[in-house]
Amino acid sequence: MHFDQIVLDNLQTVDFDEQALRIGCFLTCLSQKSEIMYGASMNVEKLKLFVRSKAKEPNPDMIAIVYQTLDMCNDRGNVD
């Protein structure tokens, strides 16, 4: 399984394998180092600021889609 498949599939039905687990561990570590994630809790507002700060030329439509996706995932997973 590749990361793009994980993003496109419904995460509740994906049969995770070792590679998906490694990606999850990597993203957790990266998020904790960036102080976006503390333990198992993610600060979605801080993640939004991080995403916006990394966009070289922020496209308002793209930023809106990213924010909507983050909010949807947060609502589904009760990440906050």
By residue range, what is the domain housing residue 37? 13-77
Rounded mean pLDDT of 26-55? 87
Residue 80 predicted with pLDDT over 50: no
Cβ partners under 8 Å of residue 32, min gap 6: 38
Tell me whether residue 5 is in a domain.
no
Rounded mean pLDDT of 37-44? 84
Residue 67 predicted with pLDDT over 60: yes
Rounded mean pLDDT of 38-47? 85
Cβ partners under 8 Å of residue 22, min gap 6: none
Tell me whether residue 3 is in a domain.
no
The rounded distance, in Å, linking the Cα atoms of 79 and 70 is 10
Quote the number of domains for the chain. 1
Residue 4 predicted with pLDDT over 60: no
Rounded mean pLDDT of 8-27? 68
The rounded distance, in Å, linking the Cα atoms of 44 and 42 is 6
Tell me whether residue 67 is in a domain.
yes
How far, in Å, are 20, 31, 33, 65 from residue 45 at the CA level?
25, 13, 16, 15
